[in-house]
Structure formats: structure tokens, C-alpha cells
Structure 1
Amino acid sequence: MAIIEYNTKKGIKKIINKIKQLETIERKKIIKAISEARDKGDLSENSEYDAAKEAQKILELKIFNLKLKLSNTRLIEISKISTSQVSIFTKVKIKNIDNGNYQNYTLVPESESNIKKNKISINSPIAIGLIGKKIGDIISIKLPNNKIINLKLIKIKI
């Protein structure tokens, strides 16, 4: 069963552009490498040819996976997202109850996550714990290292 992913127009365009880049530029490079390796003679002991063919398989798999992802992506209008509860593309302010620290995050699709910009994947433990929660809710989240953190949801915005 395919996993439906929600994304913005910008995110969808990014996937489309990546597919185009792989299908045109990268595919041409690999075809050229295969051709050059083939011109060197006996293919049975031609490591350059084998490497180029392997690169071709990897590239085609990447293209296939991106097209599959695109076919399972649904457009979401950020302006229509409610701030009454946490969902994808909402920005949240949370307080770590254990140490008093505050943190701001934006919940985004996996492909857009960037911890340096405080954009966390919707599939991350923190995001999973926050989805559907409302301002004032207390959430206990088990991290991959088995540590449990206690958070309070302070703010939700777009």
C-alpha cells in the first residue's frame, strides 16, 4: 500500500525538477560512460562498463522512486491549514518541561526536513507525538535512544 504524502506546490515542483534533472542530465552522463566503456573492447572483463551499468541501475531506481513518490503526493494549500491543532506545515513552539528550554519547529514532509532550519520530518518522533495536539497539551515522547522527553505545546501557527 502506497504512503500518501502531502506537499506544497513548491515541494511538488522540487520533486518534478529532480526527476527532470535525473532523466536528462544524469541519464546522458551514464549513457556516455557506458558507450565509452563499451568502446574499450571485451565487456566480460571491463570494470568501467560494469560500474557504468551499475550506476545506470541505481539512477533508474532513483527515477522510479521519485515518480512513485510524486504519484502518491497530494497538494496541500498552506493557507487552508488550521492552527487549532498541530498538522503538517504548522510551526510550533514547545517547552521542554524537563529542562525549561523552548524550541520552535516546522513540521514538513521528509524530503524537506532540515534540522539546521528547525524543519523536522512529519515522521520524526517529536512530530509524531505532536500531530493532533492543541495548545497547552503535555506530550511525552520516546526518542530513538529510549529517552523520554516531556513537552508542553505553547504555540501553533502557519
Structure 2
Amino acid sequence: MEYMSQEGYDKLVAELRHMESVELPQVREAIAEARDKGDLSENFEYHAAKREQGRLLSRIRFKQRVLENARVIDTSRLGTDSVQLLSKVDMTNLTTNGKMRWTIASPHEANLREGKISIKSPIAQALLNHKVGDVVEVTVPAGVMKLRIENIQL
């Protein structure tokens, strides 16, 4: 079971619909055009279009499985007393004194550009269930980070 926000769920549904209604017909059209060009055994365009179709169908099946197992979290039932899925966490790196803010998201919603880290990441795992003021040690590839939780929001 995969828990996610309503926004993440809607985004996955939109991506799936786009793949099924726009990308798949384009690939099928490319296959038909390539097939019309003659001998399929040496037709590069045909083989490339077939590979693209296989890749696209694989992505569609993956997104369908994710959506089948997805559960949208009711944010009105979440609190801000401890870090959990969908929490926005303000923290200070005690080594560098740098400030950062991350939103704990499902793996399918994780996007560093948007400030969302996967709940399965080492930082999120270390922060889970901690409260404001707690100092958390996180083992990352660069060593051990000490983070102090400054604020938790939804």
C-alpha cells in the first residue's frame, strides 16, 4: 500500500491519462507508418517504434499498479506534534548552521526541486516521529549529519 497526498494522486492520474490518450496513439501511428515502408526485418524505424511502445506500455502498467495500491491521506487527521508523512519540516544542520526545509512525501511524489524527499530516504527515516527541538543524527554518504528540528507544519 502506498500512501500519498491528493495532489500526488491527481498528478499520477493525469500522467497515466496523458500516456494512454496521447503518447500511446502516437507510438501506434509511428509503428503503422514504419510497417508501410516495407521489409520489417531491416526496418530501423519499425524496431525503434516497437521498443518505444514496449517502454511506454511498461510505464503505463507501473503507474496503474501504483494507483491501484494508492491511498490518499486525509490531511485533516494529521497533526504537527511530530514528523510524519506530508509534514513540512524546518531544521538546522548543526555542523554547518545551515537552515533547510523538506516535505516528507511518498516515493512517487519525491522531487528535490520542489523540496520533497521520499519517506524512504535516510533523512526522512531519521526524522520520523521526532518532535520540535529534537536533535537527530542522520548517516548520509558524506558522514553523519546532526539536524535540529525547528518547526513542523502540514
User: TM-score, normalised to structure 1's length?
Assistant: 0.91
The answer on 1:110 being equivalent to 2:71 is no
- Alignment partner, residue 64 of structure 1: 61
Question: Structure 1 CA distance, aligned partners of 2:136 and 2:87?
Answer: 17
2:135 counterpart letter in structure 1: I
- Alignment partner, residue 150 of structure 1: 146
Secondary structure of 2:65's aligned partner: helix
The Cα offsets for residues 92-114 of structure 1, whole Å up to 9 and x where unpaired, read as 11111112222121111233323
Secondary structure of 1:112's aligned partner: coil
Secondary structure of 2:41's aligned partner: helix
- Alignment partner, residue 19 of structure 1: 16
Q: How far is 1:146 from its partner?
A: 4.2
- Alignment partner, residue 81 of structure 1: 78
Question: Structure 1 CA distance, aligned partners of 2:149 and 2:15?
Answer: 36
Q: How far is 1:15 from its partner?
A: 0.9
- Alignment partner, residue 49 of structure 2: 52
Structure 2: unaligned runs, 5 residues or longer: none
Give the percent of matched residue pairs that are identical in Structure 1 and Structure 2: 35
Match of 2:135 among 118, 134, 138: 138
2:62 counterpart letter in structure 1: N
Structure 1: unaligned runs, 5 residues or longer: none
Deviates most, 145-154 or 107-116: 107-116
Question: Structure 1 CA distance, aligned partners of 2:41 and 2:34?
Answer: 11
Question: Structure 2 CA distance, aligned partners of 1:101 and 1:36?
Answer: 56
Question: Structure 1 CA distance, aligned partners of 2:60 and 2:111?
Answer: 23
- Alignment partner, residue 43 of structure 1: 40
How many residues were matched structurally?
Answer: 154
Question: Structure 1 CA distance, aligned partners of 2:57 and 2:103?
Answer: 32
Q: How far is 1:121 from its partner?
A: 2.0
